[in-house]
Amino acid sequence: MEVYINSISAISPQVTFTDEKLLQELKEYDGVRYLKCIEPQYNEFIDPMAARRMSRIIKMGVCSALKCLKDAGVTNPDAIITGTGLGCIEDTEKFLISVYDNEEKLLNPTPFIQSTHNTVGASIALILKCNNYNNTYVHRGFSFENALVDSMMFLLENHSKNVLAGGVDELTTNSFIITDRLGLWKKEPLNNLKLLDYKSNGSLAGEGAAFFVLSNLKNENSIAKLNYVNTFYKSENISETENRLSDIIRKTVGDIGKIDLVIMGMNGDMFYDENYNHLRKTLFNSIPCAYYKHLCGEYDTSSSFALYLASRILKEQIVPSVLRLDEKPIKDINNILIYNNLRNVNHSVILLSSC
């Protein structure tokens, strides 16, 4: 069965929600250690009274999802499937702070209710009055990929027409401070467009929300075809990773020469990026390569932003120079491979092609 991406929408640190051409208005951030989303005017998609009770991540997820459905001409999807690494951090913080400040007495239940990981998917369903299948995956770096796999299985098993799938994560001041203590982020402020020039450990923190309407029916607005999603946990060494990727390519497209572009999850961390650099010199040495985390930052479901970019590239047949890692010639773009890993633990592969 074939799965088509019929609509996409993303809220990110770039102007992706309203742009007509991919990365036409490029946002450069200088002297930063993290990237925050450019939030749109929510009034067009969310009732202002309802929005007052929503945290940032809920508003970003709901708004992105509703725009995605609107662009696809879908009023009620057959399923809503989301992925998130850490869920609604802001509401979780509010609840825990109120527990401490009020000595566990007279607590406001709203932050607790909205702190659960499935709040975004549930909020979308409540607004749409959608009683269909609704599920949220919380598997760190595999969260969005598992949402995609479930979406593809749902379309196959139920012969449904439309599934809304998405990945969403937020960054708060407190979560940044805590993860910074773990050494996840670069210590020096930097320019995001020069992320790979900083030869040090740590990455650039980020956040985002991206949604897709997936269908087993192709239409005149179909953007791309989602062919394959796979994940594997850890690797003993780079050779094992290379062998796994080689097997996946052989089983899917047959010959690596059929891959027109590889989008990698390089995040500026000198230690982990060495694996990507090795693959560029070996398995992908003849394939044009690109990267994306300098535009959105590092977060658990950042691969959803990569899928958004890849879909736009296939539709528009242009690879913006800001994404390029090399100057290898690119003609027609028919097949794109997305390879991402989160700290060399969660490895994921997404293969998509033009319709």
pLDDT along the chain (355 residues), means of 10: 94 96 96 98 92 94 98 97 96 89 82 88 97 97 98 91 97 96 96 96 98 95 97 93 96 94 97 96 97 98 98 97 96 96 95 95
List the structure tokens of 48.
């202002």
Torsion of CA 112, 65, 162, 87, to 10 degrees: -30
| Count of Cβ atoms closer than 10 Å to residue 221 Cβ | 14
List the structure tokens of 208.
């985002």
List the structure tokens of 175.
């979560």
Q: What is the pTM of this model?
A: 0.96
259 burial (CB, 10 Å; 0-12 / 13-18 / 19+) is: buried
Across all residues in the chain, what is the average pLDDT?
95
- Distance (Å, whole) CA 179 – CA 158: 41
* DSSP, res 215: E
Give percent above pLDDT 90 in the chain. Answer: 89
Task: Report residue 213 CA to chain centroid gap.
Answer: 14
| Count of Cβ atoms closer than 10 Å to residue 263 Cβ | 25
pLDDT of residue 341: 95
- Distance (Å, whole) CA 94 – CA 91: 5
Pairing of strands 289-291, 261-264: parallel
Task: Please provide the DSSP assignment of 333-350 as one string.
Answer: --EEEEEEEETTTEEEEE
Pairing of strands 3-11, 224-233: antiparallel
pLDDT of residue 98: 87
Say how many residues make up the chain: 355
